[in-house]
Copies of this chain bind each other. A is one copy, B any other.
């Protein structure tokens, strides 16, 4: 594989999981591309490394892609003038599969036999590697290292006649999680995988139709929320209107439960629930499950911990206070200082509100612990600021398993909850107590009686290891390694 001019990495807090993508599309509006910029701006939290838009003006497709944030990418002179047309689809990306070279920035585009075809994908395919190997053997040239490109090749080689049927033929071959917005033949197509793992919503602005990863992107565009695209549903939007198809076998719904906990914006409504309310519910459940007797104040780790902390404070009858202030100017670790200064790293983003914390018993509320490194620094910072006791409460169950459906998780070995029990983690991060919400508590916050273990209502694989879709590539690789190991041992034997 080639290492094309690499895009310089933008450092983020590596102690958070990352959603890899946000997608957005408009059909039937003269300002399709500007509306898409707005939508992508509202979805910036779903991918900050790169962004792109492809538009179509009945004659030609127009494309712009940049390894930048939305606000900067499309502000360059001439960019918006270029993105003409009544259809536009856009993508924000955080790299999961494939390095972030320019070639991997979506929407991907190709000239197929029926004309131009552009595709923006949120999710991850679990058999992309196997399919790619087959295709290369057949003479296919891959331009990116993205799993998404497999879909384009399969569409290009499909036997069906129409663009839509070719696309469906391709999607029936791939496995994994996908919410996709595509554009071909003066149509916009939206589709979710049979389990509906990643979100996709439908909106309306006058006579125009809009597809977006989250409803907050409809708000910014001034559009009305119509409904979620359903798991396994495909909508085909053209000048005649919108048409709903069911191209896949029926499968149980498995919406990603972590979208509620952390990924989605709190002002979004997804899969029938308001995200902010769910987070508050989780906080209240957590207060019930793991109250903190003798605490003085509830302090969120900002910004993601705020709604759960409000819920916890309400549930526990404790005051909610901004004991940690977050700077919104951070971005890059800009200096390589001496060791002494490097340790101050966490303060680039968070600072303790000393006067408030001094002498207090503090409940800290955060959404998750991934590696544990940041939690440790934050507990220490709060203690240094004078807190008497620091009790950590986490609004998700322990994150023990990697995600293969579109979330950038470190390998399992780097997940602190994979290696340690709760008490050990508590000691590791230096807290006086630590509690996670239970899996059933989490389901209760979502209005269920608890987790249906026979048929879980959500994808919660990162907590339970219960994977909804088979992991073809992963298993092939594991098998390959097994074979190698076997040979190794035999080799050593002889």
Partner-B contacts on A (CB < 8 A): 1-6, 30-31, 34-35, 37-38, 41-42, 44-45, 48, 54, 60-66, 69-72, 74-75, 77, 80, 82, 102-103, 109-113, 116, 136-143, 149, 152-153, 156-158, 216, 219-222, 265-267, 269, 274, 276-277, 303, 306-307, 310, 314, 319-322, 325, 327-332, 334-338, 340-341, 343-344, 347-348, 351-356
Given A41-B348, A335-B74, A340-B31, also A354-B267 (CB < 8 A): yes
CB pair B356–A2 under 8 Å, yes or no, is no
Residues of chain B lying within 8 A (CB to CB) of residue A219: 347, 351-352, 354
Contact yes or no, B60 A352, CB < 8 A: no
> From residue A285, how far is it (CB to closest CB) to chain B in Å?
18
B321:A310 contact, CB within 8 angstroms: yes
18 extra interchain contacts, Cβ-Cβ under 8 A, other than A34-B337, A139-B158? A1-B60, A4-B63, A30-B338, A31-B340, A35-B341, A38-B344, A42-B347, A44-B329, A45-B329, A48-B329, A102-B102, A110-B142, A112-B136, A141-B156, A216-B351, A222-B343, A266-B353, A276-B353
Q: Contact at B141–A110, with CB atoms within 8 Å?
A: yes
Q: Are A220 and B329 in contact (CB under 8 A)?
A: no
CA distance A112 to B82 in the complex (A): 34
Partner among B38, B61, B64, B337 whose Cβ is within 8 Å of the Cβ of A5: B64
Residues of chain B within 8 A (CB-CB) of A45 are 329
**Is A351 in contact with B34, judged by CB distance below 8 angstroms?**
no
Q: Report chain B residues within 8 Å CB of A1.
A: 60-61, 111, 116
Q: Which 3 A-B pairs have the closest CB atoms?
A: A274-B355, A139-B157, A75-B334
Cα distance, A351 to B131, chains bound together (Å): 42
Complex alpha-carbon distance, A249 and B38, angstroms: 56
Q: Chain B nearest CB: distance from A140 CB in Å?
A: 7
In the complex the two chains form, is A3's CB within 8 Å of B62's CB?
yes
Residues of B within 8 A of A42 (CB): 327, 347, 351
> Is the beta-carbon distance between B325 and A216 smaller than 8 angstroms?
yes
Question: Known interface pairs A139-B156, A142-B110. Does A75 touch B267 (Cβ–Cβ under 8 Å)?
Answer: no
When the two chains form their complex, are residues A31 and B341 in contact, meaning their CB atoms are under 8 A apart?
Answer: yes
A338 contacts across to B, CB distance below 8 A: 30-31, 34
Complex CA–CA separation, A341 to B344 (angstroms): 42
Q: Are A63 and B156 in contact (CB under 8 A)?
A: no
Question: Which residue of A2, A38, A149, A220 has the most chain B CB atoms within 10 A of its CB atom?
Answer: A2
Knowing A141-B156, A220-B348, A347-B219, the reply to whether A329 touches B2 (Cβ < 8 A) is: no
Q: Which residue of B lies closest to A133 (CB)?
A: B113
Closest to A136 in B: B113
Chain B minimum-CB-distance residue to A307: B322
Is A322 in contact with B5, judged by CB distance below 8 angstroms?
no
Of B69, B74, B111, B356, which contacts A276 at CB under 8 A? B356
21 A-B contacts (beta carbon < 8 Å): A1-B60, A2-B61, A2-B111, A3-B82, A5-B65, A30-B338, A31-B338, A34-B341, A38-B335, A70-B329, A71-B329, A71-B330, A110-B142, A111-B141, A112-B141, A139-B140, A141-B152, A216-B351, A219-B347, A266-B353, A267-B352
Assembled-state Cα–Cα distance A330/B71 (Å) = 7
Contacts of A314 in B (CB 8 A): 319
Residues on B with C-beta less than 8 A from A63 are 2-5
The CA-CA distance from A354 to B54 in the complex, in Å, is 30
Output the nearest chain B residue to A6 by Cβ-Cβ distance: B82
* Contact residues in B for A30 (Cβ distance below 8 Å): 338
Contacts of A157 in B (CB 8 A): 138-139
B35, B38, B141: which contacts A143 (Cβ < 8 A)? Answer: B141
Q: Are B152 and A329 in contact (CB under 8 A)?
A: no
| A2 engages B143 (CB within 8 Å) | no
Whole-angstrom CA separation of A139 from B138 in the bound complex: 11
